[in-house]
């Protein structure tokens, strides 16, 4: 919403006094936003929650709910106006840029562009996450948009949801000319830890707080080609719209060996392995480019490439037992030891051989 510079200055000068009055009346101060990092997603579904939890007006709100609320106006093609209000299941808000963001954040009223400064805090552009804002009220521009994701790997072109001018409707679009002097801002009561989207669906299916993962300790962030969220006892990895959990010793080994950069994303959840010849039983999890195997006596190890092919052909852990080492160099190739065999790979001939113990 457009306002004069004089009104903006007066409102900002009054803001500290109003905040002090609110505290004197017993109002709780805004919660601090949680830890931030670079945010990229490759599809709108990554920032749309299918299980949003309804927030209270002016209360903490998760990113999934913010994006669901914002998407409602885009889907309904709400026309821009600086007067009146638009009503749907999320309430009645003025259908201009700041009213749109006020609706998405579930504020108690449709704030003006300049008033949004008082309920947000600066963040670096590299820390922008879905549901954050891009805000400007200088140089003849009074506008705010809701950040969705970056459109390019270099993080120079934001995808936003916005109400931006008369004759237009709420839409999601790319700012091809970059941030243009807009300031990245984060709503003070945004709950960064609340899972959303595909990660939320996976987390809930596992039992949420009662699952093996425990409580979230970090908000959803970039993985290499996808997204992940860290919990007390593990992570959930998303790529591009399939999420799986990784935890325990398999996660420790995954992180220690360069994670998804080396092995890609999980293609299944962790599951029970077969019994080895000596009766050892463990767990396994497939990733795009490797198999991780764990048992109590052998620990967690990675099997991949030509050695995995030989392991697979020989009958997996049921025949060769669980790996007791990762793949290592030997003269002329690579080698990996299992409980009941050693698998060699010859670089010159690109062949494998299995020496049974």
Q: What is the pLDDT of residues 97-153, one digit of tens each?
A: 999 999 999 999 999 999 999 999 999 999 999 999 999 999 889 999 999 999 999
pTM above 0.85, yes or no: no
152 by DSSP, 3-state: which? coil
Distance between CA atoms of residues 282 and 237, nearest Å: 22
| 55-80 mean pLDDT | 96
| Residues 312/318/321/327 CA torsion (nearest 10 deg) | 10
CA angle, residues 107, 182, 19, in degrees to nearest 5: 40
Q: How many beta carbons lie within 10 A of that of residue 283, not counting itself?
A: 18
Eight-class DSSP state of 258: T
Decide if 250 contacts 270 (C-beta within 8 A).
yes
**Within the chain, where are the H helices?**
5-24, 63-76, 97-104, 197-206, 248-256, 259-263, 305-314, 316-320
| Residues 17/18/20/22 CA torsion (nearest 10 deg) | 170
58: left (phi over 0), alpha (psi -120 to 50) or beta: left
Name the β-bridge partners of 138.
141
Decide if 209 contacts 141 (C-beta within 8 A).
no
Average pLDDT, the chain: 87
- Asked whether residue 38 carries a pLDDT value surpassing 70, the answer given is no
No. of H helices and E strands in the chain? 8, 22
| 275-294 mean pLDDT | 98
| 343-356 mean pLDDT | 97
Decide if 248 contacts 294 (C-beta within 8 A).
yes
pLDDT band at 57 (very low <50, low <70, confident <90, very high): very high
Eight-class DSSP state of 273: P
Distance between CA atoms of residues 263 and 259, nearest Å: 6
Q: What is residue 241's predicted lDDT score, i.e. its pLDDT?
A: 79
pLDDT band at 26 (very low <50, low <70, confident <90, very high): very low
356 by DSSP, 3-state: which? strand
- Asked whether residue 29 carries a pLDDT value surpassing 50, the answer given is no
Q: What is residue 54's predicted lDDT score, i.e. its pLDDT?
A: 80
pLDDT band at 294 (very low <50, low <70, confident <90, very high): very high
Decide if 111 contacts 119 (C-beta within 8 A).
yes
What b/e sequence results for 238-251 when a residue is b if at least 16 CB atoms lie within 10 Å of its CB, and e otherwise? bbeeebbbbbbbbb
Decide if 333 contacts 345 (C-beta within 8 A).
yes
Distance between CA atoms of residues 16 and 6, nearest Å: 17
The predicted-structure confidence for 153-191, as pLDDT tens digits, reads as follows 999 999 999 999 999 999 999 999 999 999 999 999 999
Q: What is residue 17's predicted lDDT score, i.e. its pLDDT?
A: 33
The upper half-sphere exposure of residue 244, i.e. CA atoms within 13 Å in the direction of its Cβ, equals 18
Q: How far apart are the first and last CA of the chain?
A: 76
Q: What is residue 161's predicted lDDT score, i.e. its pLDDT?
A: 98
pLDDT band at 222 (very low <50, low <70, confident <90, very high): confident
**Between 10 and 172, residue with greater pLDDT:** 172
Decide if 302 contacts 290 (C-beta within 8 A).
yes
Distance between CA atoms of residues 337 and 302, nearest Å: 11
């Amino acid at each position: 919403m457009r306002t004069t510079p004089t009104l903006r200055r007066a409102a900002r000068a009054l803001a500290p006094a109003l905040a002090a009055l609110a505290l004197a009346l017993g109002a709780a101060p805004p919660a601090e936003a949680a830890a931030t990092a670079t945010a990229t997603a490759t599809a709108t579904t990554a920032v749309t929650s299918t299980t949003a939890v309804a927030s209270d007006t002016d209360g903490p709100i998760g990113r999934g709910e913010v994006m669901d609320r914002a998407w409602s106006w885009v889907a309904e093609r709400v026309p821009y106006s600086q007067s009146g209000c638009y009503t749907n299941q999320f309430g009645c808000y003025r259908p201009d840029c700041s009213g749109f963001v006020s609706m998405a954040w579930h504020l108690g009223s449709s704030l003006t562009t300049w008033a949004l400064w008082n309920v947000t805090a600066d963040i670096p552009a590299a820390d922008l996450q879905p549901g954050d804002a891009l805000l400007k009220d200088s140089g003849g521009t009074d506008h705010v948009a809701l950040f969705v994701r970056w459109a390019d790997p270099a993080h120079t072109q934001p995808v936003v949801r916005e109400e931006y001018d008369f004759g237009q409707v709420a839409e999601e679009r790319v700012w091809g000319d970059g941030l243009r002097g807009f300031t990245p801002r984060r709503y003070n009561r945004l709950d960064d830890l609340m899972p959303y989207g595909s990660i939320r669906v996976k987390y809930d299916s596992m039992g949420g707080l009662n699952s093996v993962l425990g409580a979230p300790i970090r908000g959803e962030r970039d993985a290499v080609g996808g997204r992940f969220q860290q919990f007390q006892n593990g992570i959930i990895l998303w790529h591009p719209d399939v999420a799986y959990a990784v935890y325990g010793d398999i996660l420790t080994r995954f992180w220690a060996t360069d994670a998804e950069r080396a092995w890609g994303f999980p293609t299944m959840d962790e599951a029970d392995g077969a019994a080895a010849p000596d009766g050892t039983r463990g767990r396994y999890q497939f990733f795009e480019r490797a198999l991780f195997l764990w048992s109590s006596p052998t620990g967690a190890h990675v099997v991949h490439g030509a050695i995995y092919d030989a392991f697979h052909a020989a009958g997996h852990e049921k025949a060769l037992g669980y790996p007791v080492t990762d793949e290592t160099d030997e003269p002329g190739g690579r080698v990996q030891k299992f409980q009941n065999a050693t698998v060699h790979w010859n670089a010159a001939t690109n062949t494998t051989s299995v020496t049974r113990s």
